[in-house]
């Protein structure tokens, strides 16, 4: 017998900015649904003109009422951040999980992350992505996080109201600013038992593709922007 799903209004919106990886749609949905009996909504945010990706999301969503799709104009800079901020602006769930298509959700991930939110001062909770890095193992950083909507309503980014992420980052380091800002505000926590594995090729967990292959160039650009903005959350 199939496991019954909680049909209450969802507390959590899982946001997945989507771009040119149609083969990842079905595995991501299967992983999320298998690991999450709690009520949730999954929002893919795609790009106009990315026809294969959009068509695959529509096909999968037809079988899953918890899935919605938003489509934005192309953003050559800040694509991930723009899509996350859009999802925040057009939704109402109390919590948002900032996801991606290369994730594998493990049972218990959501209750473990929500438990950290029992402290009302916490606005951003990191999940364990099983990356072989010290800061992931020690809870100092997370690429994919749970965010309290009230935190964004009140603070926004370090210098922009009602936005989760700064849209100047091409991709990399946008998470570093989010985490650093939350720490600066005393609003950061890490859920060690909330396991959302990142299936990244740098760790031998996926084949490389054109998006992954541009990572080093994007990282150099992101590093410079992060350094230029760092005074915003480190100055007295």
Which pLDDT value is given to residue 213?
A: 47
Which pLDDT value is given to residue 217?
A: 65
CA distances from 170 to 12, 70, 79, 89, 146 (A): 26, 20, 7, 20, 21
Residue 39 lies in a domain: yes
Distance, in Å, from the CA atom of 22 to the CA atom of 120, rounded to the nearest integer, reads: 38
Residue with tokens 């992060």: 226
Report which of 100, 142, 95, 87 is spatially closest to residue 123, judged by C-alpha positions: 95
Helix axes 51-61, 25-35, angle to 10 degrees: 30
Residue 5 lies in a domain: no
**pTM of the predicted model as reported, rounded to 2 decimal places:** 0.92
CATH number at 224 reads 3.90.550.10
Domain enclosing residue 216, as ranges: 12-201+208-234
Residue 225 lies in a domain: yes
As averages over each run of 10 residues, the pLDDT of the chain (236 residues) reads 61 96 96 97 97 97 95 91 98 98 97 98 97 89 97 98 96 93 98 93 56 61 95 88
Residue 47: CB atoms within 10 A of its CB come to 20
Torsion of CA 225, 228, 233, 236, to 10 degrees: 180
Residue 57 lies in a domain: yes
Which pLDDT value is given to residue 52?
A: 96
Residue 6 lies in a domain: no
Distance, in Å, from the CA atom of 110 to the CA atom of 89, rounded to the nearest integer, reads: 22
Helix axes 174-184, 215-229, angle to 10 degrees: 30
What total of structural domains would you count in the chain?
1
- CB-CB contact of 124 with 145 (8 Å): yes
Residue 227 lies in a domain: yes
Which pLDDT value is given to residue 216?
A: 60
Residue with tokens 């570093």: 176
Residue 3 lies in a domain: no
Residue 44 lies in a domain: yes
Which pLDDT value is given to residue 2?
A: 41
């Amino acid at each position: 017998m199939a496991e019954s799903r909680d049909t209450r209004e969802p507390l959590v919106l899982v946001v997945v900015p989507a771009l040119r990886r149609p083969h990842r749609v079905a595995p991501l949905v299967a992983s999320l649904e298998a690991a999450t009996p709690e009520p949730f909504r999954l929002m893919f945010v795609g790009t106009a003109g990315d026809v294969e990706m959009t068509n695959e999301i529509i096909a999968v969503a037809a079988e899953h009422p918890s899935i919605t799709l938003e489509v934005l104009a192309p953003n050559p800079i800040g694509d991930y951040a723009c899509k996350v901020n859009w999802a925040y602006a057009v939704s109402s769930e109390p919590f948002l999980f900032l996801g991606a298509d290369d994730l594998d959700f493990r049972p218990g991930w959501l209750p473990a992350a929500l438990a950290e939110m029992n402290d009302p001062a916490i606005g951003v909770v990191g999940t364990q992505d099983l990356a072989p890095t010290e800061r992931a193992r020690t809870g100092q950083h997370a690429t994919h996080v749970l965010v309290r909507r009230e935190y964004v309503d009140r603070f926004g980014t370090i210098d922009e109201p009602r936005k989760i992420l700064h849209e100047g980052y091409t991709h990399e380091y946008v998470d570093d600013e989010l985490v650093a800002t939350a720490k600066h505000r005393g609003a950061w926590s890490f859920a060690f038992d909330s396991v959302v594995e990142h299936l990244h090729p740098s760790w031998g967990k996926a084949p490389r593709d054109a998006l992954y292959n541009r990572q080093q160039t994007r990282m150099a650009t992101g590093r410079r922007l992060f350094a230029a903005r760092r005074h915003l959350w480190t100055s007295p």
